[in-house]
Amino acid sequence: MADLKAPLVRPKRKKTWVDYFVKFRWIIVIFVVLPISATLYFLIYLGDMYSESKSYEQRRKEHDKNVLKVIKRLKQRNASKDGLVCTARKPWIAVGMRNVDYKRARHFEVDLGEFRNILEINKEKMIARVEPLVNMGQISRATVPMNLSLAVVAELDDLTVGGLINGYGIEGSSHLYGLFADTVEAYEIVLAGGELVRATRDNEYSDLFYAIPWSQGTLGLLVAAEIRLIPVKEYMRLTYIPVKGDLQALAQGYMDSFAPKDGDESKIPDFVEGMVYNPTEGVMMVGTYASKAEAKKKGNQINNVGWWFKPWFYQHAQTALKKGQFVEYIPTREYYHRHTRCLYWEGKLILPFGDQFWFRFLFGWLMPPKVSLLKATQGEAIRNYYHDMHVIQDMLVPLYKVGDALEWVHNEMEVYPIWLCPHKLYKAPIKQQIYPEPGFEYEKRQGDTDDAQMYTDVGVYYAPGPVLRGEEFDGSEAVRKMEKWLIENHGFQPQYAVSELDEKSFWRMFDGDLYEHCRKKYRAVGTFMSVYYKSKKGRKTEKEVREAEQAHLETAYAEAD
């Protein structure tokens, strides 16, 4: 690929009242959002403790009663009068940044608010059966003391099982286990007609099993999932590896940190992630589980990153650029949620002084602000500002193209830091919405295996360079260019984020055959929204609502063919 372009000379942008509101938004965060967030976190914790005080049998009985309520509610729907089905969850509660304008149009609500219990942890079968609103903080708090964990534990505490299954979930162990949905062994789904079914890889609902991931809840209502557990140890032995050079060199250092060219599996770590801090510097981190006895050996450094006063993790990792490669031991659960307190590095924009020692020591225990409250305290103008002047996107690209992706982000967005996290993209028996490149198994590029192509998440979260410099920046156009680049390079865009795709482009990025097959077979058409309709940016017009409700066999996917 060509050398990096020099930053474009862009005209200065005229500031409006929104710029000043965003600049001083920290006042609202300090005095309103943080106190309420801390209170909510405490109440949620009490609720979790109350749930854990119940026996598994009692939780399952309550679950069965709640499922019957969902079935009854679905059967009350009058297809000729009521709108399309969606959950009763308020639009601002979702952690993702995707528009939820579909809930502002006419719709029929089904309340899933009670589905927040861990129903069983089976140590013999190594399976956790959980409800969809169980979050990562809740499940790790229950399993890690048993030296067990979900195979993939997304970093932020508030991310829920349902969101990670129906949408997108990744973690530093995904180079071993795939995306979050790849670790699910069974789904319990209430279909459009009110039938409760259990879908697995090899039963009569296997097509539904493979169609659920990335479907955004548009095939049925998820009421429980059985997820694979793995054995873990008390600590993570983490090695920080500084890498310097151009972006292609950083990309190669990232690939070499976890995907040995000689294919020796003994060199593959349990966890891996990378952070690119600027066009010439990055830090790659590789971790392996370690026992308490090993971590406490004389001379070993233990770092409790979960303490409220500790430096934000991304800034701590950055110190490797000055002091060189080093190793430390982090308690396993604290490592899992290392990015929660500062929301990766978004916390720096929300609270510009939040990383200072005085703030961390005095008020760090209040962090992080709940994303839902941040969204609830912004009006339409602020929301539009963030869509145009801020980037929160994940680019899933084949691992061998990660250098090209980094160069593209630098040239078009100038966003730093950039998060890197690899994941297996399995070749499933049935082609899913996201799928590896045809013939990847014959190429056998670095990181690939017989059953999966190695992909990587290129996480782009921050204000672009032009915005920070006070220059003009068209966020919508940048996202459109990114989506075009992804389509051309067999990449994918998780739909939790703001999307500019039109319907035909959406189905060029994703494969819709299985999804449309299941939509028709399980009578989701005309009951649940289509995944594109749900992801589409902007308010839905009454005409679009009617068309979606009356949709039958014709799809934009068929037209795109």
Query: Does 247 reside within a domain?
Result: no
Nearest to 156 by CA among 369, 398, 323, 425: 369
Euclidean distance between CA atoms 285 and 313, whole angstroms: 12
Query: Does 492 reside within a domain?
Result: yes
C-alpha dihedral over 245, 250, 251, 256, to 10 degrees?
Answer: 110
Q: What is the pLDDT, as a whole number, of residue 556?
A: 44
Q: What is the pLDDT, as a whole number, of residue 557?
A: 45
- Relative to beta strand 221-231, strand 127-130 is antiparallel
3-state secondary structure 351-397: CCCCCCHHHHHHHHHHCCCCHHHHHHCCCHHHHHHHHHHCEEEEEEE
Contact (CB, 8 A) for 472 and 11? yes
Which amino acid is located at 121 in the chain? I
Residue numbers of the domain that contains 209: 58-231
Whether a cis peptide bond, with omega within 30° of 0, leads into 398 is no
Q: What is the pLDDT, as a whole number, of residue 560?
A: 43
CATH number at residue 158: 3.30.465.10
Backbone angles phi, psi at 278, to 5 degrees: -165, 180
Q: What is the pLDDT, as a whole number, of residue 105?
A: 61
Q: What is the pLDDT, as a whole number, of residue 550?
A: 63
Q: What is the pLDDT, as a whole number, of residue 93?
A: 61
Contact (CB, 8 A) for 137 and 368? no
Q: What is the pLDDT, as a whole number, of residue 484?
A: 97
Query: Where a domain ends, among 231, 260, 285?
Result: 231
Query: Does 336 reside within a domain?
Result: no
Q: For the chain, how many structural domains are there in total? A: 2
CATH number at residue 416: 3.30.70
Helices (H), 392-453: 402-412, 440-443
What lies within 8 Å, CB to CB, of 346 at 6+ separation is 392, 461, 462
Tell me what the pLDDT averaged over the chain comes to: 90
Low-confidence residues of the chain, pLDDT below 70?
1-9, 91-106, 538-561
How many other CB atoms are found less than 10 A from the CB of residue 76?
A: 11
Contact (CB, 8 A) for 458 and 420? yes
Which pTM does this prediction carry? 0.92
Euclidean distance between CA atoms 271 and 287, whole angstroms: 5
How many other CB atoms are found less than 10 A from the CB of residue 105?
A: 18
Query: Does 257 reside within a domain?
Result: no
Q: What is the pLDDT, as a whole number, of residue 266?
A: 82
What the block records as the tokens of 321 is: 């650029």
DSSP class of residue 528? B
Query: Does 556 reside within a domain?
Result: no
Which amino acid is located at 523 in the chain? R
Query: Where a domain ends, among 498, 517, 535?
Result: 498
Contact (CB, 8 A) for 27 and 352? no
Query: Does 361 reside within a domain?
Result: no
Query: Does 307 reside within a domain?
Result: no
Query: Does 557 reside within a domain?
Result: no
Query: Where a domain ends, among 231, 247, 276?
Result: 231
